[in-house]
Structure 1
């Protein structure tokens, strides 16, 4: 398959800081080689620095989305499948926009469903999925080229286990499909029934059980082992049409043995093989 890997190396507005180091670390860890050895035609595009020099979290976060949307659209127009490597989860809003996605799989230990009205910490990335679903930051999201909010009934939240009370309430009142890895068959059946035709897959690497794989500083007990996540992601990709993937939130400072890059390579190779053979 022809693949374009798009690097968005930002964390909370900071270029190459914290989790913004993750995209380069995944490439340095052999991701391109792993995909190429599997027979794929891989190109890498880097959005580089965006926005102004002040690196303001909100303005820069949405500038990253704008740039990613453009790169994703270029990849698709060239007949290439887009894979975005991002520091922050909000970047998926740009991928969704560029792909024209109408549904989303969100695998993450967090819900990312806070809004400015409910957030205790004011952390923009904690509002990432809420933004994609059109529940907050509407003018900013609406300025991303091609962005259309995804209906909550076409959202599958996988293995989210660290939700704030307001997020729990929102999940109860919105038709979001919540599941563990073991229940993805039923979840994708609901997604198909809701009319999903173009599905974006968002994989925050901290969804994993931190005892098995720690990707960043956020540690909540539970979650799937790498093999369980791979199996679930492939089962989803077999059931519904995946049009793009985002891999986010890898901070190499919390991966002393560099365990994460080869596991991401294996995950993506299995996923792409499933998508290609569907």
Structure 2
């Protein structure tokens, strides 16, 4: 398969800091080599320094989304499947825009569905899914080329176990499909029933149980092991029309043994094999 790996090495507006070091660590950990050995044609594109914004989190975050959207459009024009390696989850809004995705599967231990009115910490990345669904930051999101908010009925949230009270309340009121990893194979069919035709798959790597795979400082106990996440991602590829993939939130400072890059490589190899068999 022809792939475009789009590298967005930003964390809260800062380039190559914190989670922003994760994309490069995945690449230096042998991701391209593993994909190439498995028969894939891989091109790597990096989002460069966003100039003139002085690392302001909100402005830079949405500027990165815009740059990612443009790279995704270019990748699809070249017949390449887009894979975004991101520091922050918000970057997925750019991928969704570039792909003209009408549905989304969101693997994450967090809900990422706070808004500026509900967030206890004002953390922009905790509003990433809410932004993709058009619940907040609408003017900024609508400035991303090709962005259209995803209908919550065509959203599947997988293994979100660390939720703020307002997030729990909102999720009770929205028609978002909730699932644990083990149920995903059955529940994903609800996306088709809701009319999904172009689905983006977002995997925040802290969905993993940190006792099995430690990816950042926010990871809390519980959650699936890498084998379960890999199988669920492959199931998504076989079940719904996946048009792009984002992997986010890896901080190599919390991966002393370097276990995350090979685990991500195995995940991608199996996911792409499932995608190719459709």
Instruction: Quickly name the TM-score band, shorter chain normalised.
Output: over 0.9
What whole-Å deviation, never above 9, does each CA across 1:150-182 have from its counterpart, x for those lacking one?
000000000000000000001000000000011
Shift of 1:89: 0.1
CA distance in structure 1 between the aligned counterparts of 2:82 and 2:219, rounded to whole angstroms: 29
Residue 241, structure 1, aligned to residue 241, structure 2: yes
Shift of 1:51: 4.1
Closer, same or farther: CA 236–129 of 1 in aligned 2, 3 Å: same
Structure-2-length-normalised TM-score: 0.99
CA distance in structure 1 between the aligned counterparts of 2:52 and 2:22, rounded to whole angstroms: 22
Match of 1:218 in 2: 218
SS class of match (1:134): coil
Match of 2:231 in 1: 231
CA distance in structure 2 between the aligned counterparts of 1:132 and 1:76, rounded to whole angstroms: 20
CA distance in structure 2 between the aligned counterparts of 1:19 and 1:212, rounded to whole angstroms: 19
Contact 1:52 1:60 in 2 (8 A): no
CA distance in structure 1 between the aligned counterparts of 2:160 and 2:214, rounded to whole angstroms: 16
Shift of 1:251: 0.3
Contact 1:29 1:262 in 2 (8 A): yes
Shift of 1:189: 1.2
Matched pairs, number? 278
Contact 1:9 1:87 in 2 (8 A): yes
Structure-1-length-normalised TM-score: 0.99
SS class of match (2:223): coil
**5+ residue gaps, structure 2:** none
Match of 1:187 in 2: 187
CA distance in structure 2 between the aligned counterparts of 1:221 and 1:33, rounded to whole angstroms: 32
Flag as ranges the 4+ runs of structure 1 deviating above 4 A: none
Tell me the C-alpha RMSD between the 2 structures.
0.6
Shift of 1:18: 0.1
CA distance in structure 1 between the aligned counterparts of 2:178 and 2:113, rounded to whole angstroms: 13
Match of 1:71 in 2: 71
Match of 1:271 in 2: 271
CA distance in structure 1 between the aligned counterparts of 2:235 and 2:80, rounded to whole angstroms: 22
